[in-house]
Amino acid sequence: MSLFSSANKEVLTGPLNLNNPVVTQVLGICSALAVTSQLEPAIVMGLSVTVITAFANVIISLLRNTVPNRIRIIVQLVVVATLVTIVSQVLKAFAYDVSVQLSVYVGLIITNCILMGRLEAFAMMNGPWESFLDGVGSGLGYAWILVAVGFVRELLGSASLLGYEIPFLSDCAFFHNGMMTMPAMALIILGCVIWAHRAINKE
Amino acid sequence: MKLNTNSNVYTIVYASVMVVIVAFCLAFISDLLRPIQEANVANDKRSQILAALNIRDVEDVQAAYDRVLVKDMVVAADGRVLTERGGFEVESKAIQAKDDSEKRLPVYVCAVEQDTLYVVPLYGRGLWGGLWGYLALKNDFRTVYGAYMSHESETAGLGARITERGFQELFVGKQAFADSTFQTVTLGVKKKVENPAAEVDAITGATLTSNGVDEMFKTSLAPYQKFFIANQD
């Protein structure tokens, strides 16, 4: 069996589009609203979730035959919590500014439904490599929505991208729309993304 | 032999081993990264002190800080200078101690161009959580040279605007105290400014945060009264 057989490719790319955790399964909305007011935290959050889902999936998949059935959710939680703590510590050490911006939301990755959903639904039944691909796919599926929303919000809310001001646009008052920096607009933009996504993919 | 993964003994042993491994892992990582994290926190604090001195967006915070800092004293509420060095390490708990005799108040003496400036820390409460900042005073201890403040969780777009440079620069040149007895802190944030030499307009829609900032100046500056009296020219 090749590493990138068509079944595996489907596992990796499915969550990016048709089976997207945010727009199709509507999971992980809370953090998607909270950290997308600027592009940089959105990217870091997306990557953190990707890393955590991928590795949690691998670990759970390796352990799947040894985990006692009655405490399997607890075991999954412990694995996720450990990885989240590690990521949060690493961010504090190497990306301090971003970790301040993300504040509690890194810790709240533990409660991100995407993680537990993937662990319970996929990693408990599949091998490590497939689980890894599934984790990366789901994480990136989540990340690109975050980045898309963050892009729109930072552009329209503060006329900058990744903290760099855009010279021509920043003179225009429309690009300093305070509403954009508030969570309510994130929900509306997310709604637009879901709308567009469903309009393109009719099924 | 196939293990019975549903037996009680297996479950308990599994859980215990897992917890021990995880605890070891986390302790190891936390130990490994702590020096870097502490350096980051300290650097952040330095950049806040620099912001109070109107030195913002510097690349090398440590170098800029070392360049302007003359000494970081610790003074007591009765005006005595306890140590000439070590103000940077004073914990916020010691600064905010309820009992005056237990207060340890840092004063950062800095030299920017030809001026000697005195930076003091500020602590207060906003609407949702803590506020803090630094205030730089000129050597008459009354005129504000610059201010920096930040918050834990004020409302974005309203109370959170106290972190904006535009708001903080409003304080430049204000009179922090009414007279040279340093009895009354005049520096404030008011809905209706009656004393434009010392007060700044409150932020619309953020009354409680503005009140918090106002209160922060009063409570944070008052303990320095005796030090200021003792050291004025």
- Domain interval for residue B214: 51-231
Chain B closest-CA separation from residue A148 CA (Å) = 21
State the amino acid at position A59 in one-letter form: I
Strand order in the sheet with B69-75: B81-83, B69-75, B105-112, B115-125, B130-137, B144-151
Q: Say if the Cβ atoms of A70 and B44 lie within 8 Å.
A: no
Which of B10, B33, B36 lies nearest to residue A68, judging by beta carbons? Answer: B10
Residue B164 maps to a domain:
yes
The pLDDT of residue B212 is above 90? yes
Residue B213 near residue B131 (C-beta atoms within 8 A): yes
pLDDT at B21: 93
Residue B107 near residue B75 (C-beta atoms within 8 A): yes
Q: What is the SS3 assignment for B99?
A: coil
Q: List CB contacts (< 8 A) between A67 and chain B.
A: 5, 14
Q: Which of A37, A75, A96, A100 to mutate to test the interface with B (most CBs of B within 10 A)?
A: A96
H helices of B92-178, in order, are 92-95, 165-168
Encoding tokens for residue B51?
């912001």
Encoding tokens for residue A128?
């490590």
Residue B17 maps to a domain:
no
A144 Cβ contact list (under 8 Å, min separation 6): A16, A46
HEC string for A40-79: HHHHHHHHHHHHHHHHHHHHHHHHCCCCCHHHHHHHHHHH
Q: What is the SS3 assignment for B101?
A: helix
Chain A closest-CA separation from residue B8 CA (Å) = 9
Q: Say if the Cβ atoms of A67 and B40 lie within 8 Å.
A: no
Residues in a beta bridge with B99:
none
Spatial distance between the Cα atoms of A150 and A148, rounded to a whole number of angstroms: 5
Over residues B35-61, the pLDDT tens digits come to: 998 998 899 899 999 999 988 888 888
Residue B196 maps to a domain:
yes
- The DSSP 8-state label assigned to residue A25 in this structure reads T
Instruction: Between B222 and B3, name the one with better pLDDT.
Output: B222
Kindly give the pairing relationship between strand B188-190 and strand B199-201: parallel
Q: Is A164 in the B-facing interface, judged by CB distances under 8 Å?
A: no
Spatial distance between the Cα atoms of A170 and A165, rounded to a whole number of angstroms: 7
Over residues A146-192, the pLDDT tens digits come to: 888 888 888 887 777 777 777 776 667 667 776 777 778 888 888 88
The vertex-B80 CA angle with B77 and B86, nearest 5°, equals: 90
Q: Say if the Cβ atoms of A89 and B33 lie within 8 Å.
A: yes
Residue matched to tokens 């100046």: B217
Q: Say if the Cβ atoms of B26 and A85 lie within 8 Å.
A: yes
Over residues B141-198, the pLDDT tens digits come to: 889 999 999 988 787 778 888 988 889 999 999 998 888 888 888 898 998 888 888 8
Q: Is A92 in the B-facing interface, judged by CB distances under 8 Å?
A: yes
Nearest partner of A84 among B56, A174, A165, A92, judged by Cα:
A92
Over residues B118-157, the pLDDT tens digits come to: 999 999 998 888 899 999 999 888 899 999 999 887 877 7
Q: Which residues of chain A have pLDDT under 50?
A: none
Residue B13 maps to a domain:
no
CB pairs under 8 A between A and B: 58
The pLDDT of residue B85 is above 80? yes
Residues in a beta bridge with B117:
B110
Residue B10 maps to a domain:
no
Residue B18 maps to a domain:
no
Number of domains forming the structure of chain B:
1
pLDDT at A8: 76
The pLDDT of residue B117 is above 60? yes
Residue B222 maps to a domain:
yes
Tell me what ipTM this predicted complex has.
0.72
Residue B19 maps to a domain:
no
The pLDDT of residue B25 is above 60? yes
Q: What is the pTM of this model?
A: 0.75
